[in-house]
């Protein structure tokens, strides 16, 4: 508890852990706030991370906390620059665990070219939180050639997903429930700036992007359909799902359309330039499995329709209940 | 749990609660991030709030979450403009409680002239957090005439506190422990922009400001002494403490120097302009009890020394243990 007191033990911890891991000139000032020189249109986004377990195949809460907020910035067309870091730690959490999480945050931040410039550290009594919660809030400069907005979506636009879906949610589920599926499913948790920023910087063909995290691809497409007041028609056979994920979903009776992703994006792009965008995506290692999965329609306004493998059509609604809590 | 799923119940809650309480054109876009036009030097700060109990005399977790982050921006010389809001809610929290907190956030934001422009909402299972935790991260434009920094502190500068100390920590303590002290101590939780921004905008006489929250006045002065490598000498008889707080501290065996404040600031000001600054502070209702409590010295470098009422001198160290956890 004393590490969260604001007193000398907290100062020692901040110097030995936080400053050592995340050192940069702005953070090192240890002011009440970081002073930044910003210009232009700035994107500002926040996310709290409460994932359980803290470590899972393919990632951990630290990597997730960086990639999640970085990706939200990228989705708005911004190049991520700065993150704040708010840690809430349960009394008694082992120091090596905290250190491992901080190492993961530092590495992920480096890979995403963002700096952690300000932070906060709280300790709560045993039982008052589950090990550690992390808030990251991000700032980035908007660099997309056009304004990315669901309102610019039109009939004929194509829907692209940047890779295979449903890995993150299943990886967390399997780990939490100790399911030995023998399927080796790893979270897809990764930052998407490297894949997407070069495309939206050069091309005005991408109209809208969103990362299908909580609620999965199905919910994200519903958000796009509602906000644009257009219909979205997708083809089941075109949606990339790995054979392992397919097997796990069949086994567990889960629809992969509602399983969270943490390293994928849905893009709505101009019909004529779809081929060019897809080619660019496929050249990047995080976009090799990118696919066109559907198109925008003036029918079914505000709704998402799936053409199934067996030739039928069905509505894809938003996730309504809770498939698996605390996946991010 | 379904309210945190990312699905339709979460969308409904966000529309019925969040958008209704905090509505503004930027937030209403419901994008992955808020798009802001910012220019100049920007201050960026984050704070997580885990106070227990959620409601206490003089405030609640919502008011605290706004004022705490707003005040951190003000301390860096910035006019607060935008806040993000991250809510982590325990499953089963009664909706009227959440609504009351959101009302308090909305009112406090209005009083501090900040807009809530982006947010995040997570629900964790019963027992995985204590009712509700809030992260607010703030942005503001730096408007102080000079750069506020401990490094500019010099011998002869005066130390001002903007009012009576130790109210917040005692109010929370009494409420949590159900102490019926019959002393009617209320938290001083309030935003400090109205009091301090007009002063630092016009005058270059304030060199450094910090709000003595966790760790209290004693710890904050130690931070200033360490960062400036100067000594700080304060006079016990000049430190404003209300008779109720004095009585409670005597009763409980607590040193008011280490009790958290949430609506006070320590200012280090140029000796010659101290009188003028004090007069300006005293004109504002949040500064009526402002007082000069000491001065900066070339002796005792990096340390804080107290001239006691009984005529002795003693070192004031940083708080080392934990006096009372979860006061903010």
Q: Helices (DSSP H) in chain A: which residue ranges?
A: 8-13, 19-22, 25-28, 61-75, 95-111, 167-176, 193-202, 216-228, 243-252, 274-283
Per-residue pLDDT, B30: 84
A194-215 residue pLDDT tens: 999 999 999 999 999 999 999 9
Instruction: Return the residue of A nearest to B91 by Cα.
Output: A325
Find tokens 């956890």 and name the residue.
Answer: B325
Query: How far apart are alpha carbons B141 and B138 in whole angstroms?
Result: 10
Whether the per-residue pLDDT at A323 is higher than 80: the answer is no
Instruction: Return the residue of B nearest to A213 by Cα.
Output: B6
User: What residues are paired with A55 via a beta bridge?
Assistant: A60
Q: Cβ atoms within 10 A of the Cβ of B99, count?
A: 14
Cβ(A231)–Cβ(A301) under 8 Å? yes
Q: Which two tokens stand for residue A219?
A: 């919910």
| Residue A211 forms contact with B (CB below 8 Å) | yes
Find tokens 């005066």 and name the residue.
Answer: B158
Q: Give residue A30's pLDDT band: very low, low, confident or very high (50, 70, 90).
A: confident
**Residue A98: C-alpha distances to residues A104, A133, A189 (Å):** 10, 11, 20
Find tokens 């054979």 and name the residue.
Answer: A243
Distance from the Cα of B214 to chain A's closest Cα (Å) equals 5
Query: How far apart are alpha carbons B195 and B232 in whole angstroms?
Result: 24
Across the range B126-137, mean pLDDT stands at 97
A240-298 residue pLDDT tens: 999 999 999 999 999 999 999 999 999 999 999 999 999 999 999 999 999 999 999 99
Across the range B185-203, mean pLDDT stands at 97
Are the beta carbons of A45 and B34 separated by less than 8 Å?
yes
Are the beta carbons of B86 and A44 separated by less than 8 Å?
no
**Cis bond before residue A180 (omega within 30° of 0):** no
Residues within 8 A of B (CB atoms), A 150-209 only: none
Residues in contact with A288: Cβ distance below 8 Å, sequence separation at least 6, in sequence order: A163, A282
| Residue A315 forms contact with B (CB below 8 Å) | no
Per-residue pLDDT, A171: 96
User: CB-CB: which of A33, A47, A78 is closest to B45?
Assistant: A33
Whether the per-residue pLDDT at A311 is higher than 80: the answer is yes
Are the beta carbons of A135 and B8 separated by less than 8 Å?
no
| Residue A128 forms contact with B (CB below 8 Å) | yes
Query: How far apart are alpha carbons A322 and B3 in whole angstroms?
Result: 8
Per-residue pLDDT, B225: 97
Are the beta carbons of B318 and A137 separated by less than 8 Å?
no
First-to-last CA distance in chain B?
Answer: 26
Q: Is the ipTM of this complex over 0.90?
A: yes
Exposed, middle or buried, A235 (CB in 10 Å: 0-12/13-18/19+)? middle
Q: Which two tokens stand for residue A82?
A: 């700065």
| Residue A96 forms contact with B (CB below 8 Å) | no
Per-residue pLDDT, A325: 82
User: What residues are paired with B292 via a beta bridge?
Assistant: B160
**Residue B181: C-alpha distances to residues A243, B143, B244, B328 (Å):** 66, 42, 9, 21
Residues within 8 A of A (CB atoms), B 219-238 only: 219, 223, 227
Cβ(B200)–Cβ(B144) under 8 Å? yes
């Amino acid at each position: 508890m004393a590490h969260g007191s604001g007193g000398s033990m907290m100062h020692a911890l901040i110097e030995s852990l936080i400053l050592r891991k995340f050192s940069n000139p702005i953070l090192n000032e240890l002011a009440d706030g970081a002073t930044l020189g910003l210009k232009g249109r700035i994107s500002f986004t926040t996310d709290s991370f409460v994932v359980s377990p803290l470590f899972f195949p393919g990632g951990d809460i630290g990597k997730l906390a960086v990639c999640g907020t970085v990706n939200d910035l990228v989705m708005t067309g911004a190049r991520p620059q700065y993150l704040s870091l708010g840690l809430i730690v349960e009394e008694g959490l082992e120091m090596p665990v905290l250190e491992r999480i901080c190492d993961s945050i530092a590495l992920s931040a480096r890979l995403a070219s963002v700096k952690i410039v300000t932070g906060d550290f709280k300790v709560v009594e045993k039982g008052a939180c589950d090990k550690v919660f992390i808030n990251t809030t991000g700032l980035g400069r908007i660099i997309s050639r056009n304004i990315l907005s669901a309102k610019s979506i039109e009939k004929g636009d194509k829907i692209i997903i940047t890779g295979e879906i449903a890995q993150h949610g299943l990886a967390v589920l399997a780990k939490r429930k100790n399911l030995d599926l023998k399927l080796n499913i790893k979270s897809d948790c990764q930052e998407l700036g490297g894949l997407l920023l070069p495309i939206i910087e050069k091309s005005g063909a991408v109209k809208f992007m969103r990362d299908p995290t909580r609620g999965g691809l199905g919910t994200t497409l519903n958000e796009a359909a509602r906000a644009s007041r257009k219909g979205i028609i997708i083809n089941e056979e075109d949606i990339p799902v790995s054979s392992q994920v397919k097997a796990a979903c069949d086994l567990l009776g889960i629809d992969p359309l509602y399983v969270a992703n943490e390293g994928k994006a849905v893009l709505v792009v101009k019909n004529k330039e779809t081929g060019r965008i897809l080619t660019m995506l496929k050249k990047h290692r995080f976009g090799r499995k990118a696919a066109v999965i559907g198109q925008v329609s003036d029918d079914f306004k505000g709704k998402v329709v799936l053409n199934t493998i067996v030739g039928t059509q069905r509505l894809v609604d938003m996730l309504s209940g809770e498939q698996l809590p605390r996946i991010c």
